[in-house]
Amino acid sequence: MDKKKVLIVDDQNGIRVLLLEVFSSEGYNTFQAANGKLALEIVKQESPDLVLLDMKIPGMDGLEILKHIKAIDPSIKVIMMTAYGELDMIKEATDLGALMHFTKPFDIDEMRMEVNKQLQGGSSSDRYAVGS
């Protein structure tokens, strides 16, 4: 089975390194980008299954990157990372197709569980099968 691909887009090196370690150890193929231009090149070349995208990136901001990702491939799942109550931006990101957001500093285990749920869950809906 092909490994799922996760792209981490954040201008903070420490966060990229942390998330790379976490998701590599979960068995994903992980890619990283410090800016929008590089992120979009990786999206075009690798078509990741899921992108963890920081909202505040110098140059091209998260919303702009999100628009481009969805234009390249609408099926790519995007989870936003936000620094501080950027509620208007969060709403816009959701309208543009982001699944959800994590506010920094985020709980790494919560994020890991959510990414696993998004990438391993057979269905993309939020309904869970009850009983078996």
Averaged confidence pLDDT in the chain: 90
Give 128's contacts (C-beta < 8 A, 6+ positions apart): none
Using the predicted structure, report yes or no on whether residue 32 has a pLDDT greater than 50: yes
Amino acid sitting at position 49: D
C-alpha to C-alpha distances, 123 to 22, 86, 112, 120, nearest whole angstrom: 24, 29, 18, 9
What is the token pair recorded at 105?
A: 């500093």
Using the predicted structure, report yes or no on whether residue 86 has a pLDDT greater than 90: no
What fold characterizes domain 5-120? Rossmann fold (3.40.50)
Using the predicted structure, report yes or no on whether residue 2 has a pLDDT greater than 90: no
Per-residue pLDDT tens for 37-66? 999 999 999 999 999 999 999 899 999 999
Q: What pLDDT shows up at residue 40?
A: 98
Using the predicted structure, report yes or no on whether residue 82 has a pLDDT greater than 70: yes
Q: Compute the chain's Rg from CA coordinates.
A: 14
Using the predicted structure, report yes or no on whether residue 14 has a pLDDT greater than 90: yes
Using the predicted structure, report yes or no on whether residue 105 has a pLDDT greater than 70: yes
Per-residue pLDDT tens for 62-79? 999 999 999 999 999 999
User: To 10 degrees, what angle do helices 62-72 and 87-95 make?
Assistant: 10
Distance CA 90, CA 69 (A): 16
Distance CA 54, CA 103 (A): 10
Distance CA 47, CA 44 (A): 6
Q: Write down the domain spans for the chain.
A: 5-120
